[in-house]
């Protein structure tokens, strides 16, 4: 089995790109139109009608080719949506190129779109996050996760911190953006032993001298010049303590919601909070921390509501949700505060409970 080159069989004749930034006033469709229009404008002799097929690359801004075909108002051209994590854009481009090289089409377009900031989260979320709340996907962007590879590699293969420092400083001068995780350890053994240290039959303890590792992140910040530096640090115990601190107010507020005895349908932005609802017969949840028990539609609905994507209101109504537990800083909480028919009934330690207003009907 071999790979065959398509050199000189495909040509890129035009391109377009949106302005990068916090585009709060633009939807994913707006970004698609902006890029596609610029691409078509770059080829005066061609128009949308000359494109035979489209490939769309997106991870979280759409679920099918409809994301592109609706934005461009095309009904008779095939659109293929592809997704491959960080390689999604290049995957759309690669497939489009091979379609031309294979002779299936004469002219195609590869489009990539991603709108992350509107979700209210710092990175990409999974539809089925682990119930203990500690998954890196819940709090780290992809670059942040990749930044952990360097110190982890050095720790596993015994690369000295000084060697890591030299490599980082060597590439700093040519870098415009630096993404770095904090050191795996603040100290290291002064004189590592190449062999097992034996007790020699002595009952006494062993004394090891530790020396401080260089603070590479701090030094990069001092010497970065015009480069943009992003640093990540998370103490494991602090994250665990934070997770437990959130659980207590969540438990208290769920008890309040259940106390009225009425049936409730609950959504928790952090699914593990809904574990407390198991004790109350009148509270049903969309999903709790036992994510493996739920089918694809339930996971998709949880994902849609928690990330407040286009259909989040429809999912709340369709699922009969009348109670929502969210962090005060979540985008969902911000929107529910503004949404008619929803009331914030409890707020503790940054966690807020919303309930849908009950409509009172009367007969004459």
d(CA 336, CA 354): 8
Span 283-310, mean pLDDT? 83
d(CA 242, CA 16): 44
Q: Any idea which architecture 28-115 has in CATH? A: 3-Layer(aba) Sandwich (3.40)
Span 342-364, mean pLDDT? 76
* pLDDT at residue number 360: 45
Mean pLDDT of the chain: 82
* pLDDT at residue number 363: 42
Domain boundaries, the chain: 28-115, 142-233, 238-356
Above 90 in pLDDT, residue 35?
A: yes
Span 133-162, mean pLDDT? 68
- 353, with CB counted inside 10 A (0-12, 13-18, 19+), is buried
Q: Find all residues with CB under 8 Å of 126, minimum gap 6, and list them.
A: 135, 137, 138, 303
Above 70 in pLDDT, residue 75?
A: yes
**Cβ atoms of 291 and 129 closer than 8 Å:** yes
* pLDDT at residue number 31: 94
* pLDDT at residue number 361: 43
For 219-233, the pLDDT digits (tens) are 998 998 888 888 876
* pLDDT at residue number 364: 43
Strands 351-356 and 79-82: unpaired
* pLDDT at residue number 234: 58
On whether the pTM is more than 0.75, the answer is no
Instruction: State phi, psi for 198 to the nearest 5 degrees.
Output: -95, 150
Sheet holding 53-57, edge to edge: 79-82, 53-57, 108-112
Q: Measuring CA to CA, which residue among 258, 284, 287, 262 is closest to residue 346?
A: 258
Least confidently predicted of 51-55, 155-159, 282-286: 155-159
Between residues 207 and 295, which one has the greater pLDDT?
A: 207
3-state secondary structure of 136: helix
- pLDDT-derived band at 124 (thresholds 50, 70, 90) equals low
Q: Where do the DSSP E strands lie in the chain?
A: 53-57, 79-82, 108-112, 177-181, 187-189, 210-212, 228-232, 264-268, 283-285, 323-327, 342-348, 351-356
CATH no. for 142-233:
3.40.50.10300
Same fold? 28-115, 142-233: no
Least confidently predicted of 123-127, 157-161, 207-211, 245-249: 123-127
Between residues 205 and 353, which one has the greater pLDDT?
A: 353
Cβ atoms within 10 Å, residue 35: 18
């Amino acid at each position: 089995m071999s790979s065959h080159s398509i050199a000189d069989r495909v040509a890129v004749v035009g391109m377009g790109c949106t302005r990068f930034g916090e585009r709060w006033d633009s939807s994913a469709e707006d970004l698609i139109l902006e890029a596609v229009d610029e691409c078509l404008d770059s080829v005066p002799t061609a128009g949308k009608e000359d494109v035979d097929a489209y490939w769309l690359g997106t991870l979280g801004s759409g679920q099918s080719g409809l994301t592109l075909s609706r934005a461009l108002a095309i009904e008779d051209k095939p659109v293929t949506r592809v997704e491959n994590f960080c390689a999604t854009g290049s995957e759309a481009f690669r497939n489009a190129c091979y379609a031309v090289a294979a002779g299936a089409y004469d002219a195609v377009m590869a489009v990539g779109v991603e709108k992350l900031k509107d979700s209210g989260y710092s990175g990409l979320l999974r539809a089925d996050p682990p119930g203990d709340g500690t998954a890196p996907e819940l709090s780290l962007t992809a670059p942040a996760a990749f930044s952990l590879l360097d110190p982890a590699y050095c720790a596993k293969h015994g690369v000295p911190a000084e060697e890591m420092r030299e490599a980082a400083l060597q590439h700093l001068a040519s870098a415009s953006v630096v993404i770095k995780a904090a050191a795996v350890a603040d100290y290291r053994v002064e004189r590592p032993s190449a062999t097992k240290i034996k007790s020699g039959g002595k009952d006494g303890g062993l004394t090891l001298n530790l020396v401080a590792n260089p603070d590479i992140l701090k030094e990069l910040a001092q010497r970065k010049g015009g480069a943009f530096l992003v640093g990540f640090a998370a103490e494991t115990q602090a994250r665990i303590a934070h997770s437990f601190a959130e659980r207590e107010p969540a438990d208290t507020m769920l008890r309040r919601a259940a106390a009225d005895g009425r049936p409730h349908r609950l959504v928790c932005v952090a699914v593990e909070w809904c574990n407390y609802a198991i004790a109350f017969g009148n509270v049903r949840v969309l999903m709790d921390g036992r994510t493996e028990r739920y089918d694809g539609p339930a996971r998709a609905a949880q994902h849609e509501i928690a990330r407040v994507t286009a259909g989040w209101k429809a999912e709340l109504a369709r699922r009969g949700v009348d109670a929502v537990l969210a962090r005060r800083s979540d985008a969902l909480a911000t929107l529910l505060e503004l949404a008619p028919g929803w009331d914030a009934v409890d707020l503790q330690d940054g966690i807020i409970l919303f309930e849908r207003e009950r409509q009172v009907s009367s007969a004459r």
